[in-house]
Amino acid sequence: MLFSVKVYPLQEVMAFLFETSQGRVHEWIHTLSIVLHMALGEAHALPERDPKNLEQTLALCLSVDFIIDGTERHIQRPHDAIAQQEKYSGKKKAHTVKNNRIIDLEERLVRSLSQTFAGRIHDKRICDEED
């Protein structure tokens, strides 16, 4: 599961590497993603998703050094023309979605993760909309 999250290969590639079928990889990813989510929640390592709770979350941190960064992920080109226009990032002829993250430098943890926005929306605008 950690290999899947870190490298994000195709399921066919994972099936080849782990000498199993793509269907079996698909089953394991869905099963183990629940386990990973539960483990991260128990360890209090899940990022805050609600911007209203962000101030409380950051107040609990030992460090005051944070990075605010946007991350853009490629998606499959939507079939609908309106959705294509929304998801088109304007960079490298790609269709993407974007999240902003607040990362604690000392503990190397993602403390906050914004909602998902279309790739063409600027990082600053995401921060403004999330307060």
pLDDT in tens, the chain (131 residues): 888 877 888 899 999 999 999 999 999 998 998 888 888 777 666 777 777 777 777 777 776 778 888 888 888 888 888 888 888 777 777 888 888 888 888 777 788 888 888 888 888 888 888 87
| Whether the predicted model's global pTM rises above the 0.75 cut | no
99 three-state secondary structure? strand
DSSP code, position 68: E
- Phi then psi for 67, rounded to 5 degrees? -120, 135
- Short-list 8, 31, 40, CA closest to 111: 40
Q: How far apart are CA 2 and CA 5, in angstroms?
A: 5
Q: How far apart are CA 89 and CA 84, in angstroms?
A: 10
- Do the Cβ atoms of 102 and 54 come closer than 8 Å? yes
